[in-house]
Amino acid sequence: MFQNGTFLYKGMAPFLYNNGKYKKRTPMNQTFSKTLRKLREAKGLSQQALADKMFVTRPTIARWEAGTRLPDAMMIYRLAEVLGEDVNVLLSDAAESNECPCVILVDDRKLVLSGGLPVLEEVMPNANITGFTSGKEALEYARSNRVALAFLDIELRGGDNGIDLCKALLEVNPRTNIVFLTAYGEYSLDAWKTGASGFMLKPITAEGVKEQLQKLRYPFFIGEGKA
């Protein structure tokens, strides 16, 4: 659906579009926090003792166990090692406890959006994916939604510029992963200077997206996509 410069493929709050169906959003649950508390107590560790082993503060552990915050991927791997748990269990519980990560695709060509968005959904079934033809619309969205990953066309019509949009998105959220899209390789040098995670030539393919996901500066759970 195209509306006001925005290609709404998924993420029309309060509903999410996934695997051909609209699903009502559910609030963050306590799956990860309960698992963490259970594992810590089974090891006979206090919150402070676990914090010391994790090199974080006790309030950080308390927030994780209260369900008000979630550790990032690096911390989850460290927790698995400290607590002797399978990291996939903790990652899965964290995914259930977290809202779907927001992913955006910005390109002024509707054909690119209509072709690229299904590919992103295939690779990242757990993501809340939205497409935009306008950099301004994308930035407005990012100001009210925590964007985990943005695929940006470097050259946008109407005065927009993907590199400038990248800088603006990072001002809103420095932990947004940026992947530049273009049909012209000569833009790659300027793109790398912005602090982007990656650079990908069009057209968008599942293999290309998977490759970029391995390079993210700030990894996040994407669900089990098709192989």
For domain 31-97, give the CATH number.
1.10.260.40
Amino acid at 112: V
Structure confidence by residue, pLDDT tens digits, 40-50: 999 999 999 99
Average pLDDT over residues 124-147: 86
**pLDDT (0 to 100) of residue 188:** 54
Rounded to whole angstroms, the Cα distance separating 201 from 169 reads 21
Average pLDDT over residues 61-82: 84
- Evaluated on CA atoms 121, 124, 130, 132, the torsion sign reads negative
Task: For the chain, give every domain's residue range.
Answer: 2-24+100-213, 31-97
Q: Among 90-99, 133-142, 201-210, name the one with the lowest average pLDDT.
A: 90-99
* Of residues 189, 181, 116, the one with CA closest to residue 155: 181
pLDDT of 84 over the 90 cut: yes
Q: Residue 24 — very low, low, confident or very high, per pLDDT cuts 50/70/90?
A: very low
Q: Looking at domain 2-24+100-213, which CATH architecture does it have?
A: 3-Layer(aba) Sandwich (3.40)
pTM recorded for the entire structure? 0.61
Structure confidence by residue, pLDDT tens digits, 200-220: 889 999 999 999 998 888 887
**pLDDT (0 to 100) of residue 165:** 93
More confident residue, 198 or 97: 198
Highest-confidence range of 19-28, 124-133, 146-155, 159-168, by mean pLDDT?
Answer: 146-155
Q: Taking the C-alpha atoms of 48, 54, 60 and 66 in order, what is their torsion angle to the nearest 10 degrees?
A: -80
Rounded to whole angstroms, the Cα distance separating 46 from 92 reads 24
pLDDT of 224 over the 80 cut: no
Highest-confidence range of 29-33, 57-61, 80-84, 191-195, by mean pLDDT?
Answer: 80-84
**pLDDT (0 to 100) of residue 99:** 62
Q: Residue 198 — very low, low, confident or very high, per pLDDT cuts 50/70/90?
A: confident
More confident residue, 220 or 79: 79
- Are both 2-24+100-213 and 31-97 of the same fold? no
